Structures are given as structure tokens and as C-alpha cells.
């Protein structure tokens, strides 16, 4: 299906790999340690600036260059991050921010519940469907996110990021898809 746009509504139900979603594809993902902050990430950060994050706990999915943590660490109580890249974790650890902890973890992994034991006021994920291999693992991720949110917590994403996918590395989600998910959940 390379080169063809897939939406949530048309994506396969189950990839057949219960324990390790995208195990063969994840190593092909981009290392963002040396990249500039993306437009979608900048939009999310601008929203956080308007909301304010004093004493907030934040889960940042896809830490990339860790500039998000550098920007918000002094204002947030805690920032935990997820990455699938050792380079991104190494960069994050080298910053030495006391309230910033990064885990190498696939957001679709069933192991999420044993690694991520904190709750968060905000979960930041620029593209909810990136590296989604099927609706089953997407649902697992969403259930994990909902479990990890505080009572009034919010998941922040950006349509720019939701429109960006890498061929077979996920699918496009529209605003209508998100509204449909909200109704289901």
C-alpha cells in the first residue's frame, strides 16, 4: 500500500502480531535527535503555552530532539518520554534534566502498562496513528493513553502531524476519525 493514503476507517483490523507490533518496521524509523522541531510539535507547544503547565505531569510520545523537555522542564512537575531510538534516549539522558525520564518503548506495545505507571495531565503525541500496524494495536495504545491520563487529563495532537505519515508507517487520521473515536470511548 506504499504511496496510497490510508484512513483509520479503512485500515486492517489485526496485523497478526499480538506481542510486538511493527517489530520489523520500527528500526526503519527516523532518528530525530539532530532535526529541528517540526511544525506540528511547535503548534502543540504553542497550545501548551496558552494553557499553562505549572506543576503538570506530561508524557511526550516521540521525544525526538528533546527540545520540548528543555522548553517545559522548568514549568512541569514531570516529563516522561517515549522513543523507539536509543540515540534519542541517549540525548535525553545527556541533558541531565532531573524531572525528565525517557523510556525506549513502542507506544503500541502491550508492555506499556508495566513501564508507564505514572498518570499525566497531558499526553503529547504529534501523530496518534504513526507506526500503527492495525486497528487492534491502535486501540491498545488508546486504552493505555486513557489509563495513563489523570481525571481531567488531555491528549494533545495536531492535524499537521496526523496528516504526516511515512508510507507503510501508519495511516492518516482526520478530525472526523478523532470525533468518531471520542464517541466510541
- For residue 138, the model assigns a pLDDT of 80
pLDDT tens, residue by residue, 2-39:
334 444 444 567 676 666 665 445 555 677 787 888 89
User: Mind listing the pLDDT tens digit for each residue in 124-160?
Assistant: 998 887 766 777 778 888 899 999 999 999 999 988 7
45-81, pLDDT tens digit by residue?
999 999 888 899 999 999 999 999 999 999 999 999 9
What cell numbers appear for 67 in the block?
Answer: 527540545
Of residues 109 and 42, the one with the higher pLDDT is 42
pLDDT: which is higher, 146 or 170: 146
- Cβ neighbours, 10 Å, residue 87: 12
Q: Report whether 94 contacts 76 (CB < 8 A).
A: no
Calculate mean pLDDT across residues 170-183: 65
Contacts of residue 124, defined as CB under 8 A and 6 or more positions apart, other chains included, come to 44, 48, 58, 59, 60, 61, 68, 156, 157
**In whole angstroms, what is the distance from residue 76 CA to residue 23 CA?**
33
pLDDT of residue 33: 80
Nearest partner of 137 among 115, 111, 157, 116, judged by Cα: 111
Cα distance between residue 76 and residue 39, in whole Å: 22
Give pLDDT, residue 165. Answer: 58
Mean pLDDT of the chain: 81
Q: Give SS3 for 104.
A: strand
Other CB atoms within a 10 A radius of the CB of residue 39 amount to 13
Kindly report the pTM of this predicted structure: 0.83
Amino acid at each position: 500500500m506504499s504511496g496510497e493514503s490510508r484512513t483509520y476507517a479503512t485500515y486492517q483490523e489485526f496485523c497478526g502480531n499480538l506481542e510486538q507490533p511493527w517489530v520489523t518496521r520500527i528500526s526503519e524509523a527516523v532518528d530525530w535527535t539532530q532535526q529541528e522541531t517540526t511544525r506540528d510539535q511547535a503548534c502543540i507547544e504553542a497550545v501548551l503555552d496558552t494553557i499553562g503547565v505549572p506543576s503538570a505531569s506530561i508524557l511526550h510520545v516521540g521525544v525526538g530532539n528533546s527540545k520540548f523537555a528543555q522548553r517545559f522542564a522548568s514549568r512541569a512537575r514531570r516529563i516522561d518520554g517515549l522513543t523507539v531510538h536509543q540515540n534519542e534516549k541517549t540525548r535525553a539522558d545527556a541533558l541531565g534534566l532531573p524531572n525528565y525520564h525517557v523510556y525506549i518503548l513502542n507506544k503500541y506495545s502491550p508492555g506499556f502498562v508495566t513501564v508507564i505507571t505514572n498518570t499525566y495531565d497531558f499526553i503529547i503525541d504529534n501523530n496518534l496513528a504513526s507506526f500503527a500496524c492495525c486497528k487492534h494495536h491502535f486501540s491498545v495504545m488508546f486504552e493505555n493513553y486513557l489509563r495513563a491520563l489523570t481525571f481531567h487529563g488531555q491528549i494533545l495532537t495536531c492535524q499537521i502531524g496526523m496528516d504526516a505519515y511515512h508510507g507503510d508507517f501508519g495511516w492518516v487520521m482526520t478530525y472526523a476519525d478523532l470525533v468518531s473515536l471520542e464517541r466510541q470511548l
